[in-house]
Every structure is written in structure tokens, then in C-alpha cells.
Chain A
């Protein structure tokens, strides 16, 4: 093992958020993956006078321990010293670095001319002198691309440049996006450049030529669009823009088929990292002709005037479109991927001093808003993200847990929920994050939808699931935009029926965001008059979903002992809910008052997960938190409950007769029809309030043992079984299919 502190020391101004530091971060990940140790020696540059933290990608490497931070005034030895960029070499430094290196490489990633035919951007002799004086080392000069080399040879023909370029790098796996075989129509094209250097073609005509106002095109921009709009004096009808703080680069690229990069005629870019990332994502690139020296046949080349023709030609020639995509992937792998970079590192440094860390270096790539890769050589589990509605309730989240707990172990479920009972999800063993509902935040749904777009996008970006399952009766409209950003993720809408008549039609507009609709059936479906009845094309129906299967319910005696109930006396389960704990307490007290006319009756009222500390104790009523309550259903002779989907079907499954009280709220769920169906089918009763005159007589009628037998037979006849496993099988099929395709 060579006697050195690190294999590689990189010198840069880490505060700069530029391409050089982004590339450096990717290179360091490759080093770690191969087992090379890397240290960062920070120097200040003249380019930024701001006091600000390190570029996020570099900071992340420091956090991860994949990059060591070495004080610039302390001695250090290494096999290779690499300087990306020159600004820190030209700036005056407070300290003089003390680096002992076998090789020192200066990567020229800046154009030597300010513009085509213009003055030099720096003095090569001064740079050479300054770099050698600062470090006491002779540097090899490596142009970052043929574009840089060509200008460098022009301004300093006598300077020896390295025979090869130090090409920019990307992690192909981090950027790759699963795409359709043919371009979309209208064709989504896009451009993204930093806000600080928008570099648009000159004049309104050239801008509109390069990014045409054409009904067959959707033109999207990630940042930097203000200057163009200012020049045009208006926003073209097919232009859309989003800020880089909202959408990361990979997600943006996933939403476009063609990356069009056009700029001023007198400008040259050293390598166009944006195009390289686009190519790695599978987008076809339309670039200025000088970049052919960099990308060869992997892109198509045009000036602003030819862009429109090129785009229409691509739309009508899917074979050419696919060829360009394939060529893009190939050149990224061969010339700009880890293999090429590690070969030049090995040439300078030899073998790494530490063991290779398969996957570690690459799994975190492109931290500052880029992609994230699969771990090389390992096959990770497929992931399914479950997103659920619910604020104070548990219905949606319970339904999705019913699916999640039945997924095969090869699939990793994770939850994002609006239910404040997220602790229950965690208790059931599922990773979960909580995001507040509009009601909890005290804001309108439209305002919340903007927050939701960022929040769900962020979650998808972190988790990179194969499937997203949304259980929500009215998904926010912004989910359409989230889907555009993540076309490779299968969006499934878990949508129960029995909507109130004439309600929620607008929610069906969001169906376009979903690849599939999964509808857990309702045994009351014969009475369903909601809009879902008319929207059945392509809908996957499964039997009603409940969290537990029948065999998971506790036997009567065991359940009663657990709950502290007498084994021989009749027992009532009161499972009512109300946002106001006092109102809920008075409803339970009312049931108790009526039930206590028969001294033998015992009453159990489970404390809701979110009310457990605010609902006061009631005399002679058994009360305690319980989840899931249905596990104890066999302990009871009668259920008094709202007619919500979950409790209703759990009662049918357990053949527990119920007095169903439809919630009086204006919710979409048509509980009245569900309660009516219980009566029509013979396994329950509808009562509209515990305060009604009918309530007491119905309750006593329902407790008649002869009635009990008839209700059990009725429930058995209508119950088609638990559909949770069928739903889980469907979701698993989607997740595993995607995983295999990606592999």
C-alpha cells in the first residue's frame, strides 16, 4: 500500500454551485464505489463573495463520510491531486496548501475565450505560474472536452495538453428513466439551464424558432425563463415553466421526450452537462452543431431555425427517435460513465487502497436534485408507496394497510398519510411519514394542492417506488403534474364506490393521472347511484377490503376475557365517532342509558386512537384504546356504529348484527344507502340517531337471540370474502413487473 494519506485529493471552492462541483461530486462517488479514498481541500475563489455552505452534492458526500475534509494549511499526501476549474487557482489565498502528490491534474472546464472570436477569458501563462507557485507542483493540463481543447490550442498553441480529455461524468443508472417506445404527441420538449446563465438565442424570432409555439409541441422549462419572456413580451401558449426549487432535474427530464438546447451563436459551452444528463435520462437531444465534437452521433444537431423541422421529423420517425436514444445511452456508458473515469484514475493512482464498496458510492448520486441509482450488483426490493387521505379518521389508511400487510416480502411498503393516527401505521410495522390535511392546516384545498405537489413529488423522489397507491375519493388536481414528473411510476387509484348521488364528478378528471383504478367493492353496491357506477372501463374490482381476515378474529371467550367482559352476559359494542369528544360522550351515555334497562347488558366503547386522552370516562362503560377493534368482534352480540365502509364490512365478515347510524355530515360516502342495505339484506338495521324514539326499540329487537341467527345467515349470504389479498396481488404484480423491466 503506498504511503499516502489519500488516493486522491480534490481542490475546489466547495461553495460554488456550478457544473464543476457537481461533476466532482459524481467523480468522488465513483471513487468510493471502487475503493479510492478522496479528500477535499477547499480554497476560496474570486467567483463568489457570498458566505454560504458547500454545494449540496459535496456536502452530502462529506456527511456520508465518502469525502474527507482536509484543512488547506495542513500537509497531506496523495497519489493524485485534481483541480476542477481555475478560479480558485487564480484567486489570492490566505494559506498556502502543502500537498505532496505523485500527479497533479488541472481540469480545464472553462472556455478559454469569452466568446467566439472574443478575447481570452484568462491568461494561460499566469495560470500556469500561479498554480505552480501555489502548490509547488507541475500540473498536467486536461481539457474537459474537445470544445475546450480546440480553443485552448488556439490561444496557447505551445502549451502541452494531455492527449485525452478529462470528460465530464454522469451515473447512467442515476439518470435513466423508463420511457415509452415512441415520442408522445404532442411532443414534450424542454430546456433547463441555471437561472444565473440563461443564455437564450438572440432576439425574439430566434427564441421562438428554437422553442416553437406549435400545437403539436409542449415546451417546458426548468428555471431561467424570465429573460426569454421579457424579450418576447408575452408567454407563448404552449410554454410551461417550473422553478428548480420545486422540481429536480431528473424529474424534469422524465417529463420530456426531447431536450432542446439552443443559445447565442457566439457562445460555446465547454461540455453542456445539461445535455449529458438529458441523454443519460433517455431524452433525445437537439444541440448546436459544435457539440458534435463532444456527442458525435448520439444527438441531432441544428440551429434555432432548423429546430422545428427536426422535431417534426422525430415525431414522424419513431425508429430514428429510438436510434438516437440508444446511441445516447451507449455514449454515456462508454465515454461519460464510471468505467471511463475509473480507468483514468487507475492510470494515475494504481489500485485503490481500500476495499471496493459495491453500490455505496453510486447509491446516493446526484444529491442536489438529480437522480438516485439502483445499487450496482444488488437487486433491491421493489417499493410501493401508499398515500392515504384521512385527517381524524382511519378508514383510508386501514384499507391500504390491509393491502400492504399482504404484499410478498419481496416488496417494501411505505406510507405517506394525512391521518394523524400515523402512529398506528408505525405500530403495524410500516415506515410512514405524516403530511397534514388542508383542514388540519386551516387552508383551502387549492392552496394545499400546491403544497401536496411538492410533498408527494419529494416522497416519490426519495423512495423511487415502482407503484404509488392513492386511497382518496378526490385526489388533488396537482397529482396530474406529479404523474408527469414520474411517468415510470405506476399510479393506482384505490377508489371505493357508494358516492352520494350527483357528487364529486370533478374528481373523475384526475383519473388521467392514474394508470389503474382499483375498486374495493361494497356489499351495498346494488344501491349505489354515485358516479363510480358509470366509470367502470378498465377498473379492477376486488371484493370488499378489510384489514383482518375472518380467521384472525379472536374467539368469543378469548376476546371477552381480553376486554374484561363477563362471558355469559350480552355485550354491546358502541363504535360511534364525532369530532367533538363531548358530543361523542353524550351519544355513548345515551346508548348506555337505554341499554341499562336490561341490567345484564354490558357496554364496550373503544377509545379512538386520536381521542384516547380527550374522551372522558363514562360510568359502567368499558372503555379503552383498541386497534383494530374488529379483532374482538366475536365478543359482542350487537354493534352500534356509523355506517362507514370499514366497520360495515368488518361486521358483515364477522356476522355481527349492527345498528347502523349514517353520519350526518356532508361527506361523499353515502352511509344512508349502506345502512339501508343492511336492513334490506337482513343483517342489520338503520337508525338515524341514538336520540330517536326508534333507537331503543330497535336495539332490543336486535338483541333477540332468534334474530341473531337470521342476521348471521344473511351476512354469510352477502359476504363475498375479503378482497385485500386480491388487491395486494394486483399491486405486487405491477411492482414486480416494473422491477423486472428495469432489470
Chain B
């Protein structure tokens, strides 16, 4: 009532930029896509990032937020993608929080959804391709999109 956290979050997410190819003024309308790539090693993450960067170049209509495992962030920084990290199973086990890794992973993804309010969530495996996304038109001033692959 006093503070609509959801609204504030929505405003925040609308302002976020991710990637080099969505024009600054198009950020607000860009589709926010959460891409979960937590089973990828560093090389596989890099390949995925190049693929997504190319997709964004061809269709500058979405801004990806990545959830990855590990600290290999050079390509994420170079391509200006937003991301967060997930602990590995052994790291999580060492925390000793009494919650299994599967649950931790699920709750972490749910939290990413709560923070970034993505319109689409893609949980991808190493080697799999994601997207492309194409605009289907505009509804209420916001692009609506469809994953075709």
C-alpha cells in the first residue's frame, strides 16, 4: 500500500541495459529474457554469449539476463551483458544450510524471476541454441515476442 515494490522493481528493470546492441532509448520496451546457463563451463558460456550477442545484433529487441556458474566473466563484461551467478553444488553443500542443491538452484532461479521480472525464461543446456526472438507487434506500448526455436 505504502510502497508498491513490484512497481518500483518494474521501473528499475525497464531501465536496465544488457548487451551492446539494444539502443539506449529502446531499453524500456525491450523484452527481458532470463537465460539460465548454469551447466555450462567457461568455454560453453563464451559460445552462448557470442550466439546471443549475434541474435541481439540481428534483432535488437531483447535484453538478456544470464544466470551462470563460476567466475569467468571476461566475455560478459566485454559484451556488456548483465548476469548473476549460482554456486556450484560443492560450494552450496559447504554452506551447510540444510537445503539440497536442487532446491537451492530452483529457488535461485525463482529469485532471479522476482528481481528481474523477465517476460521469458530460457533454461538452456550446453550446446543448445536459444532464440531467436522476433517481435509480433506491440501491445500496450510494449513489444510482444515469441520464441521460435
**B17 surroundings in chain A (CB, below 8 A):** 441-442
- Whether the Cβ atoms of B107 and A239 lie closer than 8 Å is no
Stretch at the interface among A323-331, A456-464, A594-602, A699-707: A456-464
**A440 surroundings in chain B (CB, below 8 A):** 82
- Whether the Cβ atoms of B84 and A434 lie closer than 8 Å is yes
Stretch at the interface among A196-204, A424-432, A488-496, A728-736: A424-432
- The interface residues of chain B, by DSSP majority, are classed as helix
**B99 surroundings in chain A (CB, below 8 A):** 363-364, 372, 462
Stretch at the interface among A97-105, A346-354, A446-454, A529-537: A446-454
- Whether the Cβ atoms of A373 and B98 lie closer than 8 Å is yes
Stretch at the interface among A156-164, A374-382, A690-698, A711-719: A374-382
Asked whether any CB of chain B lies closer than 8 Å to the CB of A225, the reply is yes
- Whether the Cβ atoms of A243 and B2 lie closer than 8 Å is no
Partner of A454, one of B16, B97, B115: B115
With contacts A367-B103, A442-B17 taken as known, whether A435 is within 8 angstroms of B84 at the C-beta atoms is yes
**A242 surroundings in chain B (CB, below 8 A):** 5
Stretch at the interface among B65-73, B119-127, B134-142: B65-73
With contacts A359-B98, A442-B16, A451-B9 taken as known, whether A436 is within 8 angstroms of B84 at the C-beta atoms is yes
Once bound together, how far apart are the Cα atoms of A610 and B73, in whole Å? Answer: 9
Asked whether any CB of chain B lies closer than 8 Å to the CB of A423, the reply is yes
Once bound together, how far apart are the Cα atoms of A148 and B98, in whole Å? Answer: 36
Partner of B72, one of A372, A373, A423, A462: A423
Chain A residue at minimal CB-CB distance from B72? A423
- Whether the Cβ atoms of A613 and B104 lie closer than 8 Å is no
B130 to chain A, nearest CB (A): 21
**B115 surroundings in chain A (CB, below 8 A):** 451, 454-455, 458
Stretch at the interface among B45-53, B54-62, B85-93: B85-93
- The interface residues of chain A, by DSSP majority, are classed as mixed
With contacts A367-B103, A375-B98 taken as known, whether A447 is within 8 angstroms of B2 at the C-beta atoms is no
Asked whether any CB of chain A lies closer than 8 Å to the CB of B25, the reply is no
**A422 surroundings in chain B (CB, below 8 A):** 71, 73, 85
Asked whether any CB of chain A lies closer than 8 Å to the CB of B131, the reply is no
Asked whether any CB of chain B lies closer than 8 Å to the CB of A293, the reply is no
Asked whether any CB of chain B lies closer than 8 Å to the CB of A689, the reply is no
**A63 surroundings in chain B (CB, below 8 A):** 102-103, 106
A selection of 7 A-B contacts at a CB cut-off of 8 Å is A383-B97, A422-B85, A432-B87, A433-B108, A442-B17, A451-B115, A454-B5
Give residues in A with beta carbon < 8 Å to B: 60, 63-64, 221, 225, 229, 235, 239-243, 245-246, 359, 363-364, 367, 372-375, 380-381, 383, 412, 414, 420, 422-427, 431-436, 440-444, 446-448, 450-451, 453-455, 458, 461-464, 610, 613
Q: Known pairs A380-B96, A431-B94; list 12 more (Cβ under 8 Å).
A: A229-B1, A241-B2, A246-B5, A367-B103, A367-B107, A380-B97, A422-B85, A446-B8, A447-B8, A447-B11, A458-B115, A462-B104
